[in-house]
Amino acid sequence: MKEIQIAVIGAGPAGLAAAIELAKAQGNVTLFDENTKPGGQLFKQIHKFFGSSEHLAGTRGYNIGKQLLRETEKLGVNVILDAPVYAIYPDKTISYSHQNREQAIKAEKIILATGATENALAFPGSTLPGVMGAGAAQTMINVHRVLPGKKVLMIGSGNVGLIVSYQLLQAGADVVALIEAAPQIGGYGVHAAKIRRAGVPIYISHTIQKVMGKNEVVAAQIVQLDDNRQPIPGSEKILEVDTVCMAVGLSPLTELAWLMGCEFAYIPQLGGHIPKHNHNMETTVSGLYVAGDITGVEEASTAMEEGRLAGIACAQALGLYDQEKAHTLKKEIWNRLNTLRTGPFGKIRKFAKDELLKISREGTA
Amino acid sequence: MNQKADVVVIGGGVIGTAITFYLSQRGQKVILIEKNDLASGASGACDQDIILQSKNPGIHLQLALASSQMYKTLEKELDYDIEYENTGGMILIETPEELKIMEDFVNRQKALGLQVEILNYKEALRYQRGLSNHLVGSTYSPQDAHVNPIRLNLGFAQAARRYGAEILLETEITKIKVKNNQIEGLETNRGTIYTPVIINAAGAWAPSIGRMIGLKIPIKPRRGQIVITEPVPPFVMGDVLSARYIVAKYNPELYNNSESAAVKLGVGLSLSQTRKGNILIGATREFAGYDITNTRTGIKEILKNATRLIPELKEMNIIRAIAGLRPYTPDGLPLLGPVNGLNGFYLAAGHEGDGIALAPITGKIIADLITDGKTFMDVTALSPNRFLM
Ligand SMILES: Cc1cc2nc3c(=O)[nH]c(=O)nc-3n(C[C@H](O)[C@H](O)[C@H](O)COP(=O)(O)OP(=O)(O)OC[C@H]3O[C@@H](n4cnc5c(N)ncnc54)[C@H](O)[C@@H]3O)c2cc1C
Ligand SMILES: Cc1cc2nc3c(=O)[nH]c(=O)nc-3n(C[C@H](O)[C@H](O)[C@H](O)COP(=O)(O)OP(=O)(O)OC[C@H]3O[C@@H](n4cnc5c(N)ncnc54)[C@H](O)[C@@H]3O)c2cc1C
């Protein structure tokens, strides 16, 4: 069986950044992704990113992706696409499906950068064709250039719900309404203002009750919620729609970490069960690292920094960097991560991340 | 916390819960203690076959026949949906050599009253589509059935509770109290239980309980890996095994000198489909200690074997793999009954690959032995004392 030094699983911003750092350190690194194009979430993001300018804020997501790709090409990173990794065995043998068959490779170190997956809601009719994740709709319009439907109901007013609603409008769909169960909008005001200006009604304290249709969505019934989040009888509204998008949060994609026997911590603010890890992004399984949304749902900027961190720590463990050099590099990254995790949303995440590091330390002591 | 019981059962798999049910039904005060959770051992990581045809003609088949009879009314008795279905089953035959062994096997089974016949390749196709054309034929029995083993395990437990049994989960036995060769009780991580009778139904872990009182129980964990597909429309006719499995089980010498990975892992086909539509593709039979991880070679060999016999399986997507530990015994028969020289200590373990099929009859036999001192059939051949003397 082929043996390599480092395998990075997932070619989103975290995985790309990790692979770049490892290649810079002369590591023998192979990057895997299940898609036919690298970039993870980035290539779906046609909007300008938020954050600080040092972190490419103001740059559109897909352009950040292009920059990362150019760098991996320049450094000669081995990228294997169309290759979902579906198993890792205790001896770090990786099984992936590629060119219609199972293939395997053994790695000394592994970095998991698998990102996150969309949450779904269950309601009568939720399995009808036309009900989908907002991320799926975004992939259809921005990557494949296919309109999922003409009249859309969006559920969830976080940034994903707001941004995807706007992009659906740009793609030519009619967003009939955006509903939010909480009594206030979840995402940034600028994004909400944009879709309001475009005439999309935003119903706060509303939820979906059911979707009607036989073979496909023809209408959706929504209802208002009281202070205890109970439906208010008589407030039901039927909206004529052919598509229902759910933007109700993301959960870290952690199956491979469970399979490897990592210890986990439950941190709701970060999206649920997160593999415990230390300041080097190494999990409780020696030689297995994590970076990006798998360590808690955040942003592309933090994902890239965590990827770099994992890459450098991994290079250090392999003897590619001496202690001092690695220490300097890691310190710079931690400073940047701490800057990124500020502001009203960032602060909550920083608190949660610190908690995770603390629990991880206690757990492995 | 100190408690008292007529009987304490150790192990919350299908065997332990079956015994608890039949004893409670007869008015005994039973406490079951389980280290982890119900169905956390082999009973939650196995196939679903109540297959009669695979049993060696003899006491093994007799037990299975009696158990299969009990299954007919079990769902009602438990008042719980155990997804029991009398589907029929077949054993695929690949070579003339296997055919000869199976013909003899089938004839001896018929003599004991099993309805079973040998089919040629064309006849076999009527029951199961997609069979590879290298097959010689198969056996077929309308008496085979299947059941959801996890629901069976939970159903026994729930019904036992209705009859007053107490089930203590996450409770581990730490010490057995004996006085003048008589069981007095046991200690657990949650306190002491006083009882004159302890039943060791800890499956592959039974030896660790035996060691507490100096008994050397010859049970070993034999790992079985299973691969599971996505739900698909009805495809598998019932229980489908391969003769290689039977031949390897009862005539191991025929394969012993083979060097292939499949033989080393003891791979034999066992195929069935759940009510939801997932196909269970098994299995390996390996000695790997108490390790329940799936291995890449294990999964690969299982799939190679299954697709060799039924090529159409290649079209289905795999969604997961599991592994469980069969409680193996040197002669392939369970250890059922009292242990000589230690009053009140019983064994009910070592069902290897047949514990689901044999759970009801095991529960009944042990309940008979404890309440009446005897049972409806001669079970001396199953006595643990055959190994413990
Ligand atoms: C609508 C939307 C708007 C956003 N806007 C912003 C923004 O403005 N600013 C910002 O900073 N962030 C934004 N983000 C968040 C940002 O996109 C993510 O935080 C970031 O992409 C996470 O990076 P990652 O590398 O961890 O994961 P991902 O980008 O999700 O990449 C993971 C990759 O791994 C692959 N993968 C997973 N499992 C396997 C496997 N088993 N085998 C092979 N491959 C696998 C996936 O297919 C994927 O390609 C937005 C996200 C969304 C959905
Ligand atoms: C891959 C595979 C396929 C199979 N297919 C079939 C089939 O199709 N048909 C069939 O009839 N059989 C089948 N079997 C066999 C069947 O699963 C077993 O024979 C049966 O489950 C054994 O049941 P049990 O209750 O004896 O053991 P288990 O289910 O293993 O239960 C033993 C219990 O004891 C507990 N325990 C252990 N130590 C202690 C302690 N110190 N204190 C308290 N509790 C303890 C364990 O936690 C466990 O829950 C298969 C097995 C495998 C592995």
pLDDT at A364 over 60: no
Tell me the average pLDDT across A89-106.
94
Assess whether B238 and B384 both reside in one domain: no
Is any ligand 2 atom within 6 A of the Cβ of residue B326? yes
Mutate which of B38, B46, B226 for ligand 2 pocket (most atoms within 8 A of beta carbon):
B46
Contact B201, B13 (CB under 8 A): yes
Atom of ligand 2 nearest to the CA of B270: 8
Cα dist from B143 to A300, B56, B59, whole Å: 60, 16, 18
| B:224-283 residues touching chain A, CB 8 A cutoff | none
**Share in percent of chain A as helix, strand, coil (round to 5):** 35, 25, 35
Tell me the average pLDDT across B9-37.
98
The string of DSSP letters for B177-239 reads EEETTEEEEEEETTEEEE-SEEEE--GGGHHHHHHTTT-----EEEEEEEEEEEE-SS---SE
Name which of A156-170, A192-206, A273-287, B252-266 the model is least confident about. Answer: B252-266
Q: Which residue has the higher pLDDT, B326 or A300?
A: B326
CATH of the domain at B212: 3.50.50.60
Is any ligand 1 atom within 6 A of the Cβ of residue A301? yes
Kindly state whether B293 is in contact with chain A, defined as any CB-CB distance less than 8 angstroms. yes
Q: How far is the CA of A247 from the centre of ligand 1 (A)?
A: 15
Name which of A187-191, A251-255, B358-362 the model is least confident about. Answer: A187-191
**In the β-sheet with A206-212, what is the strand arrangement from edge to edge?**
A206-212, A219-224, A237-239
Q: Is B191 left (phi over 0), alpha (psi -120 to 50) or beta?
A: left
Tell me the average pLDDT across B92-103.
94
pLDDT at B231 over 70: yes
Assess whether B185 and B320 both reside in one domain: no
Assess whether B287 and B340 both reside in one domain: no
Closest CA to B385 of B355, B354, B341: B341
CATH classification code of A120-246 = 3.50.50.60
Q: What is the mean pLDDT of chain A?
A: 93
Closest CA to B53 of B312, B272, B354, B267: B354
Contact B226, B323 (CB under 8 A): yes
**CA trace torsion A39, A45, A46, A51 (10° rounding):** -110
ipTM, interface predicted TM-score of the complex: 0.73
Last residue of a domain, one of B289, B309, B328: B328
Assess whether B188 and B307 both reside in one domain: no
Atom of ligand 2 nearest to the CA of B239: 8
Residue A81 dihedral angles phi and psi, to the nearest 5°:
-100, 175
Assess whether B251 and B275 both reside in one domain: yes
Residue B200 dihedral angles phi and psi, to the nearest 5°:
-85, 100
Sign (positive or negative) of CA dihedral B76, B79, B85, B91: negative
Delimit the CATH 3.50.50.60 region(s) of chain A.
2-117+250-364, 120-246
Environment class of residue A93 by beta-carbon count within 10 Å: exposed (0-12), middle (13-18) or buried (19+)? middle
Is any ligand 1 atom within 6 A of the Cβ of residue A84? yes
Give percent above pLDDT 90 in chain B. Answer: 91
Assess whether B342 and B238 both reside in one domain: no
Is any ligand 1 atom within 6 A of the Cβ of residue A32? yes
Q: CA-to-CA distance for B164 and A39, rounded, in angstroms? A: 60
Last residue of a domain, one of B328, B348, B379: B328
Is any ligand 1 atom within 6 A of the Cβ of residue A164? yes
Tell me the average pLDDT across A224-228.
96
- Residue appearing with tokens 């995402």: A187
Q: CA-to-CA distance for B21 and B199, rounded, in angstroms? A: 13
Residue B258 pLDDT class (50, 70, 90 cuts): low
B131 located within any domain: yes
Q: Which residues of B touch A89 (CB under 8 A)?
A: 293, 295-296
Q: Which residues of A touch B296 (CB under 8 A)?
A: 87, 89, 93, 95, 104
Q: Which residue has the higher pLDDT, B139 or A363?
A: B139
Strand B220-231 versus strand B197-200 pairing type: unpaired
pLDDT at B59 over 50: yes
Mutate which of A288, A299, A308 for ligand 1 pocket (most atoms within 8 A of beta carbon):
A299
Contact B10, B317 (CB under 8 A): no
Is any ligand 2 atom within 6 A of the Cβ of residue B63? no
Q: Say what the pLDDT of residue B56 is.
A: 87
Nearest CA to ligand 2 atom 20: B355
Assess whether B292 and B240 both reside in one domain: yes
User: For chain B, how many residues are written?
Assistant: 389
- Contact flag B296-A93 (C-beta cutoff 8 Å): yes
**Domain enclosing residue B322, as ranges:** 89-142+220-328
Tokens of B157: 């437990």
List B90's β-bridge partners, or say none.
Answer: B140, B240
Contact B325, B334 (CB under 8 A): no
Tokens of A347: 């602060």
Q: Say what the pLDDT of residue A365 is.
A: 40
Name which of A10-14, A341-345, B164-168 the model is least confident about. Answer: A341-345
Tell me the average pLDDT across B240-253.
81
Assess whether B284 and B192 both reside in one domain: no
- Contact flag A87-B293 (C-beta cutoff 8 Å): no
Interface A-B: count of C-beta contacts within 8 A: 11
Residue-wise pLDDT for B148-171, tens only, equals 999 999 999 999 999 999 999 999
Nearest CA to ligand 2 atom 27: B203
Q: How far is the CA of A43 from the centre of ligand 1 (A)?
A: 9
Assess whether B188 and B287 both reside in one domain: no
CATH of A2-117+250-364, one of 3.20.20.105, 3.40.190.10, 3.40.50.970, 3.50.50.60: 3.50.50.60
Q: How far is the CA of A82 from the centre of ligand 2 (A)?
A: 40
CATH of the domain at B237: 3.30.9.10
Which residue numbers of A have CB closer than 8 Å to B's CBs? 87, 89-90, 93, 95, 102, 104
HSE toward the beta carbon, residue A314, CA cutoff 13 A: 38
Locate the chain A residue with the closest alpha carbon to B322: A259
Q: CA-to-CA distance for B10 and B206, rounded, in angstroms? A: 9
Q: What is the mean pLDDT of chain B?
A: 95
Number of structural domains found in chain B: 2
Q: CA-to-CA distance for B249 and A126, rounded, in angstroms? A: 48
Closest CA to A352 of A267, A277, A262: A267
B54 located within any domain: no
Nearest CA to ligand 1 atom 33: A10
The angle, 0 to 180 degrees and rounded to 10, between the axes of the packed helices B96-111 and B243-250 is 80
- Contact flag B296-A89 (C-beta cutoff 8 Å): yes
Assess whether B302 and B340 both reside in one domain: no
Give percent above pLDDT 70 in chain A. Answer: 97
pTM: 0.86
Compute the nearest-CA separation of B204 from chain A (Å): 23
List A204's β-bridge partners, or say none.
Answer: A180
pLDDT at B205 over 70: yes
Q: How far is the CA of A211 from the centre of ligand 1 (A)?
A: 29
Q: Say what the pLDDT of residue B260 is.
A: 81
Q: Say what the pLDDT of residue A51 is.
A: 61
Assess whether B314 and B226 both reside in one domain: yes
**Share in percent of chain B as helix, strand, coil (round to 5):** 35, 25, 35
Residue A362 pLDDT class (50, 70, 90 cuts): confident
For residue A223, how far is the Cα from the chain centroid? 30
- Contact flag A104-B296 (C-beta cutoff 8 Å): yes
Last residue of a domain, one of B299, B328, B357: B328
Q: CA-to-CA distance for A109 and A316, rounded, in angstroms? A: 12
